[in-house]
Structure 1
Amino acid sequence: LGELIGINDTWIRRKYVIKDCNTAVAGVYNVDDTTTENFPTEAYKYGSLLVVNSGFFGSQYFVPDNFNVDPYIYIRSIGNNGNTFNKWGKIKATIIT
């Protein structure tokens, strides 16, 4: 039924812990110390990985769950129908009190 109404792997759905960031399809994943492959270097090991995908292009966003320890949001683009993963970049977040 989902296919008939256009629900496919490009929709954002809640997923569970991911081991390899390159295998993530569209969704929101838990990240912990078991996420070891293709993860942003030096990033805090707990948080959420958001993956969006238009079919041919996509992007990944990792948000640590503790900005006091790691004040960055990590981002990378995906191309070539999910076969090309670009390097991770990071954006510094400012804690507002």
Structure 2
Amino acid sequence: MSEKTPDAAELELLPTAELHDRAVARARERRDLGFLWELLRAIPAAAAATGEVDRAEFDMLHVMSLLEEFRQAGDSDIADALRPVYVSYLTEHGG
């Protein structure tokens, strides 16, 4: 029996760290590099949305910096700004 795909309202009730963990785990299971890259690209904008303007100026060509941000994206002030990315992904792909 397959698991029911949660809808956005159900996902919005989850803590941000759990959304991050679920979305990243699902992307890993699906080998969805596109989502992981989307997440990496969204981190500077999320930083800007939280008032961390200097972080928003990250050069997108510095992949190592972005990978470190990705590692921390589920457990920081930026994580809450990334909630819509996690909810959208999990709604579309199950999780």
TM-score by length of 2: 0.24
As a proportion of its length, which structure holds more helix?
Answer: 2
TM-score by length of 1: 0.24
Over alpha carbons, which structure has the higher Rg? 1
- Which structure is higher in RCO with an 8 Å CA cutoff and minimum separation 6? 2
